[in-house]
A and B are shown apart, each in its own frame.
Chain A
């Protein structure tokens, strides 16, 4: 049974304005659907308030009022009447979306749609939303502290916040984050509470996990076997860096619905295996060895047969600065094939850093393009005529072939850059 505080009742009664009332109404319906008993205060929201893809831009064109208010009212807040949204009441950032402001023509975006994205961004700015335009807010200025309660979207960012940072968030959606932005409230359910954060399944890692692709494949295996449960991984792992953690989590939240994991002896709520389980008995124990690694590699490459690579896409989740440095170094003094395009996606913040370091220029000198705000899967954008792609992200390899009907090779960043240079896929499963 959901109980509301006086403050929450005031919002639901309309005493804080119509838009806040609609936001609270949505949150109440959502909390009741979950079976939550109360709300928590949040001061950190990551969503996509007011944004719109081509379908939504078109659908809400003639629904009355300014387009921004119509989309926000009817879609973000799921309201049945047009309301004017006030300013965000808590720190709210905008995740990925839209098109690269500089390279939208390269992406193949229509001008009308790009102008729509600009208008949606201006709407978000007018509501006090910080425009990070990335799936990696934790690399672009929004780094929560241990124990913070968040309302975040973006599965790869949610799993990072919970597991690596020890902040607390469920995988929120577009509507709940926009409602949280106006209320500072989110249901006290799931990963906001202690017990649901404890491990439920164990993965015994029997082979050394070192490179970025090792972590990506282990994440893809883990998500597939545990689905939406909470894995505790033990053995075989050296403490990973941010890039490895980013790829592991993104993969685990794509093949399954993992929102939190523990690396025994590494992540903050897992000083050891026993603490990570917190008294739970593992529901199942899985082993990850050379045979499992081989199977993951084959599954991620199952849709590819043509070695002539048209397109190489890196930066899923958005590239960290060190990944742009690596790409620039691999491309140094070389040029990509005339038959192949190379796109690398990152955040606006990291691209600014890469510009200052000369990485962007080095990648462009070799024929690559560094873009922000979106990615191929999100924008459903690849170079014209692409039939075969090469990817270094298990997450992108999971989504892109399904979304665009392409063949996709999956391998290391080096394999992908070599494919961009030679136009041929020559990758092999790491051993």
Chain B
């Protein structure tokens, strides 16, 4: 499809998943700023406060805050509220370990800034093993049969 934008990056965690993008320019908090049981960010001044990330492709700058980051997002896997995939710019130990224990396809180190390309609501397919992210802009995605798109396998 010519109207699919493909970003190329580096594998963090393998696997393939698709979902609606949830985008924030802010860094994402861990312990003390997220409710893993509900799958929502709770930090007072965060632009995603109260928004569920469950099943979404989370597109963000990087991780911040407490060393409880991995344990919180690990808990989202147990609670069934984990994001479907992670797309992020800045590598830290928090986000690396969190992605590993969430076991969701994750990619970083892109040829183009995903925050400039992907908007909340776009349909995104993350292939961790290939390090690629396919983006279908939401205006176009609405015209497609969503169930015809590949899902996480």
Q: Which A residues lie at the B interface, using CB under 8 A?
A: 26, 29-30, 33-35, 55-56, 59, 75, 78, 152-155, 158, 170-176, 187, 189-190, 227-228, 253-254, 256-257, 299, 303, 377, 398-399, 401-403
**A33 adjacent to B12 (CB under 8 Å):** yes
CB distance from A306 to the nearest CB of B (A): 17
* Given A173-B70, A175-B70, A402-B43, A33 contacting B27 (CB threshold 8 A): no
Is B100 in contact with A30, judged by CB distance below 8 angstroms?
A: yes
Consensus secondary structure, chain A interface: helix
Q: Which residue of B lies closest to A223 (CB)?
A: B64
Q: How large is the interface on B (under 10, 10 to 19, 20 to 34, 35 or more residues)?
A: 35 or more
| Minimum distance in angstroms from B55 CB to a CB of chain A | 20
Q: Would you list 27 pairs from A and B whose C-beta atoms are within 8 A, ordered by A residue? A: A26-B100, A29-B13, A30-B96, A33-B13, A35-B91, A75-B71, A152-B67, A153-B68, A154-B66, A155-B65, A170-B92, A172-B97, A173-B67, A173-B69, A173-B71, A174-B67, A175-B70, A175-B100, A227-B64, A228-B63, A253-B65, A254-B65, A256-B64, A257-B65, A303-B44, A402-B43, A402-B44
**16 more CB-based (< 8 A) A-B contacts, given A173-B69, A175-B101, A402-B33:** A26-B100, A29-B13, A30-B96, A30-B97, A33-B12, A35-B91, A55-B37, A174-B68, A174-B71, A175-B70, A227-B27, A253-B65, A256-B64, A303-B44, A401-B44, A403-B32
Give complex CA distance A154, B32 in Å: 12
Contact B101 A257 (CB under 8 A): no
Query: Is the pair A158, B67 in contact by a Cβ cutoff of 8 Å?
Result: yes
**How long is the Cα–Cα vector from A362 to B12 in the complex, in angstroms?**
53
Please give the distance in Å from A23's CB to the nearest CB on chain B: 13
Interface residues of B (CB under 8 A from A): 10, 12-13, 27, 32-33, 37, 42-45, 62-71, 74-75, 78-79, 90-94, 96-101, 106, 109
Alpha-carbon distance A262/B66, docked complex (angstroms): 20
Q: Do residues A228 and B67 form an inter-chain contact, with CB atoms below 8 A? A: no
Which residues of chain A are within 8 angstroms of B33 by Cβ–Cβ distance?
A: 399, 402
Query: Judging by beta carbons under 8 Å apart, are B74 and A75 in contact?
Result: yes
Q: Is the CB of A173 within 8 A of B93?
A: yes
Residues in B with CB closer than 8 Å to A402 are 32-33, 42-44
Report chain B residues within 8 Å CB of A155: 65-67
**Complex: A399 Cα to B32 Cα, angstroms:** 6
Residues of B within 8 A of A158 (CB): 67
Q: Which residue of B is nearest A191, CB measured? A: B93
Query: Are the CB atoms of A173 and B42 closer together than 8 Å?
Result: no
B residues less than 8 Å from A55 (CB atoms)? 37, 75, 79
Q: Could you say which residues of chain B place their CB within 8 Å of the CB of A398?
A: 32, 44
